[in-house]
């Protein structure tokens, strides 16, 4: 495990299997750079893992952007933080010699991943969004880039309304799909079913022609 001096505190785990897309791990509120390492290894065994720590603190808990209330985001801050994360991805690619990553985000991490996908098309090679919601009411118009995404929602999630999750799936499709939206009979936390769906989706993305875990 290595952690070079880049713009985000982070951990990097090199790939043990060549040719797999690297994974950008984005934790939820209160997590840190260690939080999703186990999930990343389960979803993408053998892939390189890049795991940054969110730079915003809410009551001492790391997040990737500010919010004004539960489910109400500071969109100006979100746009700026998405740009910061996009620059970190470029830094990590140069420092570690990896290709464009698949983002794997939970909750707040899923929301920043969705914002990066919408605001910085082409930066990510894919996105797995666990309990994600619409990050921006009016994202800036951007070029359509065919980036696959998996959105996994909870049917009984008290934080993400079903209509909001469905709207996010539509926004991602309009930005360039394909998008797979799964709804599980669960709440906001990650379940074994999330891991299984994410691992299956990642394996299908990794098997596409041109998918690679090395710099191109």
To the query of whether residue 27 is one of the catalytic residues in this protein, the response is no
Whether 113 and 103 have beta carbons less than 8 Å apart is answered as: yes
Catalytic, out of 35, 99, 157, 194: 157
To the query of whether residue 10 is one of the catalytic residues in this protein, the response is no
Q: Token match 């299984």: residue?
A: 196
Catalytic, out of 74, 84, 188, 212: 188
Distances in Å between the Cα of 61 and the Cα atoms of 20, 30, 54, 118, 152 are: 32, 4, 9, 26, 24
To the query of whether residue 32 is one of the catalytic residues in this protein, the response is no
CA distance 21 to 151: 18
Distances in Å between the Cα of 148 and the Cα atoms of 45, 69, 117 are: 19, 30, 10
Q: Give the pairing of strands 72-73 and 67-69.
A: antiparallel
Catalytic, out of 51, 107, 125, 153: 107
CA distance 21 to 214: 8
- Sign of the Cα torsion 140, 145, 146, 151 reads negative
Active-site residues, by number, are 107, 157, 188
């Amino acid at each position: 495990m290595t952690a070079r001096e880049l713009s985000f505190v982070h951990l990097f785990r090199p790939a043990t299997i060549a040719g797999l897309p690297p994974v950008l791990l984005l934790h939820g509120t209160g997590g840190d750079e260690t939080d999703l390492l186990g999930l990343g290894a389960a979803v993408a065994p053998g892939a390189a893992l890049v795991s940054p720590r969110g730079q915003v603190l809410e009551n001492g808990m790391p997040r990737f952007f500010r919010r004004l209330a539960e489910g109400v985001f500071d969109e100006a801050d979100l746009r700026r933080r998405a740009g910061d994360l996009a620059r970190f991805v470029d830094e990590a690619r140069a420092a570690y010699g990896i290709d464009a990553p698949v983002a794997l985000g939970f909750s707040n991490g899923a929301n920043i991943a969705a914002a990066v996908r919408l605001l910085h098309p082409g930066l990510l090679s894919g996105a797995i969004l666990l309990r994600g919601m619409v990050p921006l009411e009016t994202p800036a118009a951007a070029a359509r880039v065919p980036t696959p995404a998996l959105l996994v929602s909870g049917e009984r999630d008290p934080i993400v309304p079903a209509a909001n999750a469905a709207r996010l799936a539509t926004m991602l499709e309009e930005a360039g799909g394909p998008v797979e939206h799964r709804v599980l009979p669960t709440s906001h936390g990650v379940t074994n079913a999330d891991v299984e769906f994410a691992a299956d989706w990642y394996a299908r993305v990794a098997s596409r022609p041109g998918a690679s875990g090395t710099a191109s």
